[in-house]
Amino acid sequence: MKIENHILDILQLYEYAMAIGKSLDYKESCDLFLKLILKRKNLNAAWILEPKGKLLHSTYAIPFGKEISIKKDQPISEFLKTIEFSKIVPVDSIVSSISPIPIDKGNATIFNLEEEGYLFLYSKKDNLSNKDLSQLEPVIKKFTINLKACKALKEQEQLLHNLEVQNQELSDYAHMVSHDLKSPLRSVDTLAAWLIEDNKDKLDEHCSTQLDLIRSNVEKMDALINGILDYSAIGKNQVETYKIDLNLLLKDVLNMMEIPSHISVNMPELPTIIGDKYRLQQLFQNLISNAVKYNDKPKGVIEIGIEEKEQFWQFYIKDNGKGIDEVYFNKIFKVFEKLENIEGSTGVGLSIVKKIVDLYGGKIWLTSEPGKGSTFYFTLKKKSNGEA
Amino acid sequence: MLITTTNTDEIVSAISNHVGDNAALITIGEHTEIDVTQLISELNASQTKFMGGIFPKVIHGNSILDKGIVINTLNNLESMFLVKNISTKDYTIPKVVFSKNHDYSLFTYVDGLTSNISHYLSELYENYGMQTNYFGGGAGSLSLEQRPCVFNSEGVFQDAAVFAIMKMSSRIGVKHGWSKVDGPFIVTKAEGNIIKEINWKNPFKVYKEVVEAHSGKTFTDSNFFDIAKGYPFGILKDDAECIVRDPLMVNDKGELVCVGELEVNVLVDILNGDKASLINAAKGAAQDSIKKASAPRKAILIDCISRILFLEDNFDKELTAITSTIEKNFDNISIGGALTLGEISSYGEGFLEFYNKTVVVGLFE
């Protein structure tokens, strides 16, 4: 009979232990374990008090009762200090004062859960013994770890949520500001154009140059704003992906760009991949446009290449232009970072490229030699997440 | 009060005369030839407050009836509620303010064939805790076909529960009389009311081995319940009677379908009882209820339908054991109730439990 009782004790601990860790939600974890203890041990109530500064707060209670938020005064502090790991105490005025439910008799069994506070199990009778406390020790320790994990997950989720909200807010802000800036800019440009048009004969050369400068700067600013708008729009919407023939896409891109006659663009037969046309166009257009813009050779050559890997496509766009010093390799992908002042350059192009590659779950990097040219490599996952 | 007429006007008149300004607890035998929807409509018209359930059989005094309506008065009613969607857990238990200096009793009828009844009971306890006693049973048909079986002024519903809270003290006795044959076993896999694994093995194989060895009978394709009704499972509790779970059938996979849910990793014994032990337990439940009672006005019996299926003709003896024990102590007490699909009470004032194959005796002051 004794052996049978020991087996029963062990199996009961197994039941309790298996009820812990099934969830990483704080309330659900408490429900799963504490309701089981209440049922099996015929107890009446359970609650957890957590110290926060000088206060004690209830973080869980069954039955719900009232919420506890009480100052940890001297008698309460002294009382809690006496609980090293666990203790059974008759309900007195101190225990009553930190109970969510009105109790004035019976016994409370208190477990010290370290940073997670104190667990109280209440019984109208004396349903828990010191033997129970010893047996429950490993189970309660596991429960404490479970509560810690629940909190860590919640904090992580909260941080991620905050980050997402902040990213969204920043993106919305950039979009809104850029959009609002375009309207007065258009007015400035129109007014400058009218001034030139209406005063063609009256304006001296100095004034005409100044007005042309105004229009040229307005144009730069417009390009910059368009860049910001494009940048903030990437990743904003869920975009459908579909099959794209890259040969046709690149043909369209090159037609749109008007490549100067001294520069030739070579490319092999390209595959059909899964993606969305608009963003892939942006990606290739920005890289080819840079290769054209920063080419100082009398005979410029741009080479587009591709290599099929198991999980992704690896592309490269190679030019024989000015090249980039290695110290700038990371800097160039940051927004508004440009290495030299070239007309029409906004410093947004490569940031847009990086953002699109990120969105496709890929990587972008480059090799370059100043004076000889650069090669930009990027990968696109064969099965993208469809978010663009 | 027992009503045997099937005339709705007469029923309504009898109920309103019986309960007056109080509310009525209406317990209907499933074969009673009445239109419950019409009864509800006429009770509403007569402005009678009520709630009720339809059960396999009803109890009135020493009689067990397939047909008939048993009426109990719900005195000092504080509030009465309907809870829908028990199976999907999509409901909120209403807030109730309990006064410190009074005793309360909560009476509930729940669709006994719906799932997640344990969750409903847990929600009741979370909200009302130790401020009230709990008492009730599972309604439904003995055919085990789920259909609308609990009702109040809003209509008759399945997958629902009704409950009333009364400012009234009550004394409750709970016993079953089944004892251990073998165990403990671990229910290593379960889903709702289906045991999918015992001790990491096929549950029917484990169950069959124990039961056949003890009973000397052999399970065939068609006799599962005939044997299993005498061999329920018992969920182990510390220093208290186990909670009985009734195996109803074995499915194609050798999984055991029970009345009432079992959690994964719960420890169970396989139990058995005989006529004497069950009848003694019923008497014990009655004795427990009368221990602290001073002047109860009525006794409500919630007795599991599967006990009558096990005891058969001897069920009269169980009922007499209960009624005679109560009547010996309290003259002129009205005794009524139902044979139910699951029984409800707080065991020794602790957490609420849903039982099978158990007798719950409630004495209401």
DSSP A159-186: HHHHHHHHHHHHHHHHHHHHHHHHHHHH
H and E: helices and strands count for chain B: 8, 25
How far apart are the C-alpha atoms of A228 and B14, rounded to whole Å?
Answer: 81
Q: Report, as an integer, the average pLDDT of B161-185.
A: 93
CB spacing of A42 vs B238 below 8 angstroms: yes
Smallest CA–CA distance, residue B126 to chain A, in Å, is 4
User: Residue B276: which residues within 8 A CB-CB, separation 6 or more?
Assistant: none
Question: Exposure of A6 by Cβ count < 10 A (0-12 exposed, 13-18 middle, 19+ buried)?
Answer: exposed
More confident residue, B298 or A359: B298
B-side interface with A, Cβ within 8 Å? 100, 122, 125-130, 184, 186, 236-240, 263-267, 347-351, 353
| β-strand pairing of A263-266 with A300-308 | parallel
Q: Which residues of A touch B126 (CB under 8 A)?
A: 62-64
Q: Hey, is A228 helix, strand or coil?
A: helix
More confident residue, A227 or B326: B326
Facing A44 at nearest CB: one of B239, B263, B349? B349
Torsion of CA A270, A274, A279, A282, to 10 degrees: -10
Please state which of the four CATH numbers 3.40.920.10, 3.30.930.10, 3.40.50.720, 3.30.565.10 is assigned to the domain occupying A242-381. Answer: 3.30.565.10
How far apart are the C-alpha atoms of B292 and B103, rounded to whole Å?
Answer: 13
Q: Report, as an integer, the average pLDDT of B74-95.
A: 95
Facing A11 at nearest CB: one of B100, B186, B348? B186
Per-residue pLDDT of chain A (388 residues; tens, 9 = 90+): 567 777 888 888 899 999 999 999 999 999 999 999 999 998 999 999 999 888 999 999 999 988 888 888 888 989 999 999 999 999 999 999 999 999 989 999 999 999 899 999 999 888 888 888 988 999 999 999 999 999 999 999 888 888 887 777 777 777 777 777 777 888 888 888 888 888 888 888 888 888 888 888 888 778 777 777 777 766 665 567 888 999 999 998 888 887 899 999 999 999 999 888 888 888 998 999 999 988 999 999 999 999 998 889 999 999 999 999 888 888 888 766 666 655 556 667 888 888 889 888 899 999 999 999 999 999 998 865 443 3
Which chain B residue has the Cα nearest residue A62?
B126
Say what the pLDDT of residue A386 is.
Answer: 41
CB spacing of B236 vs A12 below 8 angstroms: yes
Specify the DSSP class assigned to residue B22.
Answer: S
Pairs of CB atoms within 8 A across A/B: 73
How far apart are the C-alpha atoms of A90 and A122, rounded to whole Å?
Answer: 10
Q: Hey, is B340 helix, strand or coil?
A: strand
Smallest CA–CA distance, residue B263 to chain A, in Å, is 9
How far apart are the C-alpha atoms of B351 and B314, rounded to whole Å?
Answer: 32
Phi and psi dihedrals of B208, rounded to 5? Answer: -60, -45
Q: Hey, is A249 helix, strand or coil?
A: helix
- Buried/exposed A318-357: b ≥16 CB within 10 Å, e otherwise: bbbbbbbeeeeeeebbebeebeeeeeebbbbbbbbbbbbb
- A277-293 and A349-359 are packed helices; what angle lies between their axes, rounded to 10 degrees? 140
- Buried/exposed A268-277: b ≥16 CB within 10 Å, e otherwise: eebeebbbbe
Element containing residue B146 per DSSP (H, E): none
Smallest CA–CA distance, residue A72 to chain B, in Å, is 26
User: Residue A333: which residues within 8 A CB-CB, separation 6 or more?
Assistant: A350, A351, A353, A354, A364
- B99-156 pLDDT, tens digit each: 988 999 999 999 999 999 999 999 999 999 999 999 999 999 999 899 999 999 999 9
Phi and psi dihedrals of B279, rounded to 5? Answer: -65, -40
Is residue A189 within 8 Å of A215, Cβ to Cβ? yes
Mutation site for B-interface testing, chosen from A7, A44, A47, A67 by largest number of B Cβ within 10 Å: A44
Phi and psi dihedrals of A147, rounded to 5? Answer: -65, -40
How far apart are the C-alpha atoms of A16 and A73, rounded to whole Å?
Answer: 34
From the CB of residue B42, how many other CB atoms can be counted at a distance below 10 Å? 18
How far apart are the C-alpha atoms of B57 and B338, rounded to whole Å?
Answer: 6
Facing B128 at nearest CB: one of A39, A45, A63? A63
Amino acid in the structure at residue A365: W
Kindly indicate the confidence band of residue B362, based on its pLDDT and cuts at 50, 70 and 90. very high
Amino acid in the structure at residue A286: N
Torsion of CA A129, A132, A138, A143, to 10 degrees: -80
Say what the pLDDT of residue B265 is.
Answer: 93
CB spacing of A63 vs B239 below 8 angstroms: no
How far apart are the C-alpha atoms of A288 and A387, rounded to whole Å?
Answer: 24
CA distances from B5 to B13, B34, B51 (A): 11, 9, 19
Specify the DSSP class assigned to residue A104.
Answer: -
- Residue-level length of chain B: 365
- B36-45 and B8-19 are packed helices; what angle lies between their axes, rounded to 10 degrees? 50
Specify the DSSP class assigned to residue B34.
Answer: -
CATH class of A2-156: alpha beta
CA distances from B130 to A101, A354, B80, B98, B296 (A): 9, 62, 18, 10, 21
Phi and psi dihedrals of A307, rounded to 5? Answer: -135, 135
For residue B156, list its beta bridge partners: B151
Smallest CA–CA distance, residue A16 to chain B, in Å, is 9
Q: Which residues of A touch B353 (CB under 8 A)?
A: 39
Facing B122 at nearest CB: one of A12, A35, A101? A35
CA distances from B186 to A8, A142, A272, B54, B205 (A): 11, 21, 57, 35, 14
Facing B184 at nearest CB: one of A8, A31, A38? A8
CA distances from B225 to A224, B177, B202, B222, B232 (A): 80, 19, 18, 8, 10
* Angle at alpha carbon of residue B260, lines to B258 and B264, rounded to 5°: 85
Kindly indicate the confidence band of residue B239, based on its pLDDT and cuts at 50, 70 and 90. confident
Q: Hey, is B303 helix, strand or coil?
A: strand
Is residue A27 within 8 Å of A146, Cβ to Cβ? no
Say what the pLDDT of residue A343 is.
Answer: 55
- B275-291 and B315-329 are packed helices; what angle lies between their axes, rounded to 10 degrees? 20
User: Residue B237: which residues within 8 A CB-CB, separation 6 or more?
Assistant: A39, A40, A41, A42, B243, B347
CB spacing of A45 vs B130 below 8 angstroms: yes
CB spacing of A63 vs B129 below 8 angstroms: yes
How far apart are the C-alpha atoms of B203 and A313, rounded to whole Å?
Answer: 52
CA distances from B294 to A64, A215, A293, B282, B300 (A): 31, 100, 100, 20, 16
Say what the pLDDT of residue B260 is.
Answer: 85
Distance between first and last Cα of chain A: 68
Q: Report, as an integer, the average pLDDT of B166-172.
A: 92
**Six-digit token string for A2:** 């004794």
Amino acid in the structure at residue A202: K
From the CB of residue B262, how many other CB atoms can be counted at a distance below 10 Å? 22
Smallest CA–CA distance, residue A6 to chain B, in Å, is 12
